[in-house]
Structure 1
Amino acid sequence: MQMMIADQFTESISGERTRIINPADGKPAGEVPKGGKEDVDRAVMAAGDAFRRWSVLPTSRRGMIFWQSAALIRREADRLALILTTEQGKPLREAKDEVLGAAAVFEYYAGSASLVSAGYTDRLPRYGYGIIQRRPLGVCGAIIPWNMPVLIAAWKIGAALITGNTLVLKPSINAPMAVLAVGEVMIRSGLPPGVLNIITGNGRDAGDPLIAHPDVRKISFTGGIETGEHVARVTARTIKRLTLELGGNDPMIICSDMDPAMMADAALRLRLYNAGQICTSPKRIIVEEGIYDTFTTHLERLLRDVTVGDGTDPGSMMGPLNNAEVRRSVEDAVQTLRDEGATIIRGGKNEEFPKNGFFYNPVLCTGVPEDSRIHAEEIFGPVLPIIRADDLDDAIGIANDTQYGLGASIWTRDISAAERASEALEAGIIWVNQHMKLPPEVPFGGIKKSGFGRENGLAFIDAYTEEKTILINR
């Protein structure tokens, strides 16, 4: 698997390599170059050289490369999904969903190529003529996490490249191989050298030099709040454009007019998708008093049949967590809930799991106190805290009582209740009778400490271009 910097070098300048671990068994899944500052400098230089040619290419030509890349990704979806499962841990069916989602994102950007306008001209009385030009920014940088690496990479690659920019992309060192494979697919689809550059390295050695580089005009970062604050401080020194998506603590409000058995099934499927390691996963399940007890009983019954195992096993409903640090943070969160007086009905560690894998049984928790830390802190794993609400107003108050504001969902048959909740909930995206669906046609991003800026939709045009005004007096 190649590291693509400049002429697709297969090694970092240091010659060192990093071993990638399979979270299901702790065995090596592969190796990637250990990139550092010199590799970032070389990648930014290559991107700068390529920008002069790529930025003047007709958008239809750029779009054609994305069409071809999407077609090749679909054709090789099984291969790419296996790479993703091996390094990330999710079941193969989920990995394939993600890979096909990335293909859909590339198709969206290919179809949006004609919307990337070069600008417009207007006659202005008393001023003459005004020419408004829209131009790409230049070399952009992106840093992505390990939880949905292929899909999030596609968001950032598509937006940056279709608008005429070039990109230096740093995936998480915990899951870089599938992203490298997608980059290789794009090269085979006709992407010129230097347009997309992928650096594999850790945050200190590769991430920090990228966000601080004076020739990088924009950074798009997806990750945690603490790291996002660091990125904001560093990029401010060179006045870079910045997009931050910093996670979420999404509420899922279930009204008493819904069928409790159906909602228990929905909550389980949504929360256990990718072992709960998704920013928009429903992390706080808020249930109205009228169906709380019945809902909880159904959910406990469903949990008994959940199979946790290797993602390559077709019988596994949920795979392992990605790494030891994540599992430790989930264990700490569950212990905190116990200390606060909540009831852990079932779940947690299981001695029958392979010792070298990062497995963890889903946890069902009730009796969560109003001042619990789960309202302030994101649990990035398969924990289902069920919170009782007196009515819809109470549920909305609980939902908004968090520093996050990425997504939220309201489940009800009452359209007026859905409208009221949609207006009152503090989040960047509100779902009604669904959760986590993110078509590339709509803008995505958060408010409060979930970050700022939007990805996808038509927001990408403003995010990755700048306007120049020329006034002509004849």
Structure 2
Amino acid sequence: MTTFDANTKGIFVNGEWREAKSGETEVVDNPTTLEKLTEVSNGDFDDATDAIDAAYEAFPEWSKMSPRKRSKILYRAYELMMEDVDRLGEILTLEQGKPLKEAKGEIKGAASFLQWYSEEANRIYGELIPASREGNRQFVLPQPIGVVGAITPWNFPSSMITRKCGPALAAGCTVVLKPAMETPLSAIEIAKIFEKAGLPKGVFNLVTGKAQEIGEAFLTNDKVRKITFTGSTEVGKYLMRESADQLKKVSLELGGHAPILVFEDADLETAANLTLASKFRNAGQTCICANRVYVQESIKEEFSKVLLEKVKQLNVGNGLNDGVDIGPLINENGTEKVQDHLNDATDKGARILCGGTKWDGEYEGHFFEPTLLDNITDDMKVMNEETFGPLLPLQTFKTEEEAIKAANNTKYGLAAYFFTENLDRTFRVSEALEYGMVGVNEVFPSVAEAPFGGIKQSGFGKEGGHHGIDDFVVKKLVTISGKK
């Protein structure tokens, strides 16, 4: 069995592990079996304030440390994470539910952000500006913004942490992390990795616990200069509104409603395989997963047949077991939302091609069968809201223009995908889709070396690539007057 600390200490402040000041704890359940895994500290406003103070005190020394020294610490954290992939992957599966193969893939992806930003720490360049006034010198000096409050979700409890903290630490910022209370164990393990890698006390702090109170501390404490958040659009809007009083810098990676367009010239086998991989990865609990599929009329029957056979072959069960493709949803609210979207669709005429019910297997967790729907209309919830579960609707289109219009008909703008073998169409559709990320014959845009982020109500700011550091840096203009 995987080993992790079965104690209540989930708070790491100024290099010390401790319990919440209130003494409160919160149970962490296994979503597969509904069994108790452990308890962690249920921190609050006061605990977050302590962490912010620690980060604030640590900032001057860390921000002045040479980029090369920060780079070595981050690279050591990368090595430690890669050395422990198997154990970390099992912990992730236990608390989140995704299949072990996916969990290990996430750990490796999380480590890659530490590797990338260990390198980028040395490449935060300034700029020399030719002055219009004779004798003057002007240059732009990049500097870390300060203390960062990071809030991460439960669906990718490891990679979302390093994707935020990697660039923040590389830039010279200090961090207070609030992980999702459903999945605090992965965050605790990452904190231990940072500690072992040699991160100075107070540079990285962790507070597990009450989201509203910890968030309030981030919003109201003027020592926090930047908030980075991944989660729902509703919460993102709240953070943005409340940050306005102190004009904090905010980056938001919010909800998505990704379309997949399958054109008649597509390779159908590739399109079906990648549609399957996109939609049903992590049981559909992915902000960039396919939420709706539009198939050109001339290939609808053939594509549906290919995709249906693949969906039927997916195995549901305990993510720790071999051969399992889909684990549980994170909680009962997740299964209820899928059921609500399904009921709404069938009430309005949708036809269930496969699945369509909660999984009645050997485990008591929050499972739902992978479900494929046909006869879809635009007024259905599944075509307008993020389902966040293994429910996939199929709809047809006649022309390229019609497909683009349908794909863009949403308030979200995170990711979109399409399949074609036509080079002209590749450029036309890529430019026309109103999304922060577009995949052409590809559905996995999240890599350390490339910017990740959306537009419209999917948020703003980029994570990944050299762009990822920009949100943690301020650009200072320095003008020096020469002798006249």
Taking structure 2 as the reference length, the TM-score comes to 0.95
| Mapping of residues 75-474 of structure 1, within 5 Å | 75-117=83-125, 120=128, 123-126=131-134, 128-350=136-358, 352-354=360-362, 356-474=364-482
RMSD of aligned Cα (Å): 1.5
Aligned pairs, number? 474
Give the aligned residue type for 1:329: K
Q: CA deviation at 1:185?
A: 0.8
Per-residue Cα deviation, 1:321-364 (whole angstroms, up to 9, x for no partner): 11111111111111111122211222133463246300110110
Contact 1:138 1:217 in 2 (8 A): yes
Q: Give the one of 6, 14, 19 matched to 1:6.
A: 14
In 2, Cα distance between the equivalents of 1:261 and 1:199? 46
Q: How far apart, CA to CA, are the structure 1 residues paired with 2:293 and 2:129?
A: 52
User: Structure 1 residues 131, 267: closer, same or farther in 2, change over 3 A?
Assistant: closer
Task: Report the Cα offset of residue 66 of structure 1.
Answer: 1.0
CA distance in 2, matches of 1:337, 1:351: 19
Structure 1: which amino acid aligns with 2:298? G
Alignment of 1:36 with 2:44, yes or no, is yes
CA–CA distance in structure 2, aligned partners of residues 273 and 345 of structure 1:
19
> Shift of residue 122 of structure 1?
5.1
Counterpart Cα distance in 2 of 1:350 and 1:238: 46
The CA deviation at 1:267 is: 1.4
Instruction: Output the CA distance in 1 between the equivalents of 2:350 and 2:439.
Output: 28
Structure 2, unpaired ranges of 5+: none
Q: CA deviation at 1:119?
A: 5.6
Q: Distance in 2 between matches of 1:399 and 1:83?
A: 37
Letter in 2 for 1:251: P
Alpha-carbon distance in 2 for matches of 1:123, 1:258: 54
- The C-alpha deviation readout for 1:261-320, integer Å capped at 9, x for no partner, is 442232112211111111110111111111111111222222222110011011211111
Secondary structure of residue in 2 paired with 1:218: strand
SS of the residue corresponding to residue 288 of structure 2 reads coil
In 2, the alpha carbon distance for the partners of 1:131 and 1:268 equals: 50
Choose 263-272 or 100-109, whichever is displaced more: 263-272
Contact 1:39 1:199 (C-alpha < 8 Å) held by counterparts: yes
Q: Distance in 2 between matches of 1:404 and 1:351?
A: 30
Distance in 2, Cα, partners of 1:448 & 1:82: 36
Alpha-carbon distance, 1:12 to partner? 1.1
From the superposition, tell whether residues 421 and 31 of structure 1 become closer, same or farther in structure 2 (CA, over 3 Å): same
- Asked if structure 1 preserves the Cα contact closer than 8 Å seen for 2:256 and 2:412, the reply is yes
* CA-to-aligned-CA distance 1:411-452 (integer Å, 9 cap, x gap): 100011111100100100111110123221111111111011
What letter is aligned with 2:337?
Answer: S
Q: Tell me, what secondary structure is at the counterpart of 2:18?
A: coil
Letter in 2 for 1:182: I
Q: Which residue of 2 aligns with 1:71?
A: 79
1:25, 1:354 within 8 Å by CA — same for their partners in 2? no
Runs of 4 or more above 6 Å deviation? none
Alpha-carbon distance between aligned partners in 2 of 1:354 and 1:18, rounded to the nearest angstrom: 27
Cα deviation for residue 15 of structure 1 reads 1.4
Q: In structure 2, how many angstroms separate the alpha carbons of the residues matched to 1:298 and 1:118?
A: 53
Distance 1:259 1:242 in 2: 41
Mapped contact 1:349–1:359 kept (Cα < 8 A): no
Partners of 2:267 and 2:421 within 8 A in 1: no
Q: Which moved more, 1:255-264 or 1:460-469?
A: 255-264
Tell me, yes or no, if the aligned pair for 2:48 and 2:207 is still in contact at 8 Å: yes
CA drift at 1:127: 6.0
8 Å CA contact retained: 2:271, 2:441:
no
**Deviation of 1:193 (Å):** 1.2
| 1:207 Cα deviation after fit | 2.3
Counterpart CA distance in 1 for 2:126 and 2:358 is 58
Paired position in structure 1 for 2:32:
24
Distance 1:57 1:219, change over 3 A: same
User: CA–CA distance in 1 between the matches of 2:226 and 2:96?
Assistant: 28
TM-score w.r.t. length of structure 1: 0.97
Question: What CA distance in whole angstroms lies between the structure 1 residues aligned with 2:337 and 2:423?
Answer: 38
Could you tell me how far apart the structure 2 residues matched to 1:428 and 1:301 are? 32
Does structure 1 conserve the Cα–Cα contact (< 8 Å) formed by 2:152 and 2:160? yes
Q: Measured at CA, do residues 297 and 92 of structure 1 come closer, stay the same or move farther in structure 2, by a change above 3 Å?
A: same
